[in-house]
């Protein structure tokens, strides 16, 4: 009986200290997991430039794909939800932007940098293609100054154009004004039977509004 008792005790001891799955490898939390992915060697990151498509209006989030220490590819999503101007590219860098120190006025008070002379009106262009028509071009709007009544308006795509027809019996050659003031590219004015047409060419599709003013009409963008 003694050999059997010794064998029973050894069997019981083995069951108490045995792992649930003897074929499962031992996990050491102090050691990084082994992956079959190869860690890519890349030069140090400095900066990256991202050009937006011409239909971008709101930057909802920034998604970054990166390779982890174990070689796997992971994704990081950062919410933004801010409006953007697609004309201006995005820059990604690990260097923080430089901050300019505010200028000091007399008496030690801080003040902003003074605007150059004429800067307040430099962004607005005024054009007088016809005696009865004036155009005032701003950053996000064009004001058509005229006493003539607008009879219709519509838009075309590729390229995106906004057309406005005004009632008037007139005789003149077609006028073309190159603006080069994004988002406005040019203005064309053509004469038709009983009316003339003002066509605004833009650099991309936009939502727009046409509002009646005291001295004409305003085509504005958001």
Buried/exposed 104-127: b ≥16 CB within 10 Å, e otherwise? eeeeeeeeeeeeeeeeeeeeebee
CA distance 195 to 167: 4
Domain 125-220, CATH? 2.60.40.3470
* Residue 53 exposure: Cα atoms within 13 Å on the Cβ side: 3
Which DSSP helix (H) or strand (E) runs through 9? helix 2-17
Tokens describing residue 33: 């997991």
Higher pLDDT, 49 or 4: 49
pLDDT at 74 over 50: yes
CA nearest 195: which of 164, 160, 161, 155?
164
What is the side-by-side strand order in the sheet with 175-181? Answer: 150-156, 161-167, 195-202, 184-192, 175-181
- Comparison of pLDDT for 44 and 215, the residue scoring more: 215
Q: How many CB atoms sit inside 10 A of residue 38's CB?
A: 8
Flag whether pLDDT at 124 surpasses 50. yes
The rounded Cα 73 to chain-centroid distance in angstroms is 26
Domain ranges of the chain: 45-95, 125-220
Return the residue matching tokens 């900066």. Answer: 47
pLDDT of res. 121: 40
Q: What is the pTM of this model?
A: 0.58
């Amino acid at each position: 009986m003694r050999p059997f008792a010794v064998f029973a005790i050894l069997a019981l001891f083995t069951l108490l200290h045995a792992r649930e799955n003897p074929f499962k490898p031992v996990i050491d939390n102090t050691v990084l997991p082994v992956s079959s992915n190869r860690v890519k060697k890349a030069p140090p990151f400095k900066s990256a430039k991202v050009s937006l498509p011409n239909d971008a209006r709101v930057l909802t989030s920034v998604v970054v794909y990166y390779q982890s220490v174990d070689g796997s590819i992971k994704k990081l999503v950062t919410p933004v939800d801010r409006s953007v101007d697609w004309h201006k590219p995005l820059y990604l860098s690990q260097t923080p932007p430089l901050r300019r120190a505010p200028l000091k006025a007399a008496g030690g008070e801080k003040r902003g940098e003074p605007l150059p002379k004429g800067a307040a009106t430099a962004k607005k262009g005024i054009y007088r293609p016809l005696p009865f028509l004036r155009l005032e071009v701003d950053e996000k709007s064009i004001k058509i100054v005229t006493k003539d009544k607008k009879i219709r308006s519509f838009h075309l795509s590729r390229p995106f154009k906004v057309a406005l027809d005004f009632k008037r019996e007139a005789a003149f050659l077609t006028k073309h004004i190159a603006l080069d003031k994004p988002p406005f590219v040019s203005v064309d004015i053509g004469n038709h039977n009983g009316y003339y047409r003002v066509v605004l060419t833009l650099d991309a599709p936009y939502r727009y509004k046409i509002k009646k003013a005291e001295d004409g009409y305003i085509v504005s963008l958001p």
